[in-house]
Amino acid sequence: MLASTLVYLKEYQQALDAAKKANIPKVWKEVAFACVRSREFRLASIAGLNIIMQPDHLESLIEHYEKYGYYKELINLLESGLGAEGAHMGLYTELGVLYAKYDPDRLMDHLKTFAQKLNITKLIRVCERYQMWPECVFLQSHYDEYDNAVCTMMDHSPSSWWHDIFIQNILKVSNHDLYYRAMIFYLEEEPMLLNDLLKILSMKIDLSKAVSVMRKAGHLPLITPFLKSTQNQNISAVNEALNEIYVENEDHENLKQSIMEYDNFESLNLAQWLENHELLDFRRIAAIIYRKNKKFSKSIEISKKDELWKDAIETVSESNEMELAEQLLWFFMETGERELFASMLYTCYSLIKPDVAMEVAWRFGLQEYVMPYFIQFMKDLSDQVATVKKETEGIKENAAKDKENLESQTISGFHDFLFPGLNVPQIAAIMPAPGSMGFNTGFGGGFGGPSFPGQGGFY
């Protein structure tokens, strides 16, 4: 009561002393409010320090200061309470709100310094209300609202987008559709950094969908470096996109390397596209694609049109088809390509029958061209005959050995049957000499009888 009375008497110092003795929030507020109205800011600050430590009374004190527009003094009051022992979350949060309203340049430092002591949700709403987007992104990132942080940066990029911060957040988002929205955002605002973004997201995004998004946007060639870095995964959409880019850029070297190393793409569609291309190198690639797909006749047809004789011969050799070899051989003779006749005999040696080679050479007078073929053929034939002869002799020797072993085993088995347990020398020792045994017909002379030359045993 004394403090209230002194306030009415405008004895603010004495009222402050009485409030210290009362030490009741209601009294402190009455004294502080009176001092603010009278612009006694030093005394108001002393009284206010006892109020701001009470979360329930902090907002009313702030409202009173703001009512009279004394926001600088209010900020000073709250700052002076930060180091006090009873400082609480509301104090740090409300000071951040005041910075957002009246001193925005100091808000970011405040957020970074006291990030762990703030009511982040409330401050995010305040930053959105006052369009303080960098601070909003910081709070959203700190509060694990990565999806919102990424959206805020894309929606308010002039003031809140930074490449490194964006990357840190995009890697943690839960809504994967934001990956593809980010691609469009970079395409429109930071196209030179688009490949960096895609390389970082390469293990998270669906490459087929990423290619589709860029194709629809009409800027597929822009991500060529990224596509090259991911082609080792041999994904159909990536291979087809790169092949399309190479064709449009007339880069036949990279196109050939791509189709030779990575086979997961619609190869026949590409071959049909290239077989009528105005450039010879691309028509040649079409022939290679047909060859890889076992379409040898089509590949040879393209090579013949462009007079790519080497490619045609190699295709025949790879096909391993005698009919194609004979057809190409006759084609060369009809066009008068004598040297190619010899090249065919060498490259497709196993596919050309000797009678065909002889007939063609006889018809067109190419005996000197065919002689190396027949020399090689006779050598191979002689080697085969020698091999067969050697194998036949080996078979005969093995058969003779098998016969001897069989006879030996038969005799040994017969002896074992008649005289079990005795070997051949023992059997010979107990047997009588040939002709020493027989029956005798005379009387008184024991058994005897005529003997039969060359026979042993009994009659």
The tens digit of pLDDT for each residue in 12-42 reads 788 878 878 888 888 888 888 888 888 888 8
pLDDT of 454 > 60? The answer is no
Question: For the segment 71-120, what is each residue's pLDDT rounded down to a tens digit?
Answer: 999 999 999 888 888 889 999 999 999 999 999 999 999 999 999 999 99
Q: Which long-range contacts (CB under 8 A, 24 or more apart) does 256-263 make?
A: 256/285, 256/288, 258/231, 259/285, 259/288, 259/289, 259/292, 260/288, 262/231, 262/234, 263/234, 263/292
pLDDT of 186 > 60? The answer is yes
pLDDT attached to residue 459: 28
* Residue, of 4 and 252, whose pLDDT is higher: 252
Confidence of residue 372 (pLDDT cuts 50, 70, 90): confident
pTM confidence score = 0.71
Confidence of residue 391 (pLDDT cuts 50, 70, 90): confident
* Residue, of 400 and 349, whose pLDDT is higher: 349
Confidence of residue 353 (pLDDT cuts 50, 70, 90): confident
In whole angstroms, give the CA distance from residue 226 to residue 223: 5
pLDDT attached to residue 409: 67
Average pLDDT over the chain reads: 84
pLDDT of 264 > 80? The answer is yes
In whole angstroms, give the CA distance from residue 139 to residue 112: 9
In whole angstroms, give the CA distance from residue 35 to residue 41: 6
Q: Residue 457 region, left (φ>0) first, then alpha (ψ -120 to 50), else beta?
A: left
**Contact in structure between 194 and 186 (CB atoms under 8 Å):** yes
In whole angstroms, give the CA distance from residue 128 to residue 415: 115
**Contact in structure between 329 and 313 (CB atoms under 8 Å):** no
In whole angstroms, give the CA distance from residue 111 to residue 27: 33
Question: For the segment 274-320, what is each residue's pLDDT rounded down to a tens digit?
Answer: 998 999 999 999 999 999 989 999 998 999 888 888 889 898 888 88
Question: For the segment 395-430, what is each residue's pLDDT rounded down to a tens digit?
Answer: 877 777 777 777 666 656 555 555 555 555 555 555
Across the range 235-243, mean pLDDT stands at: 94
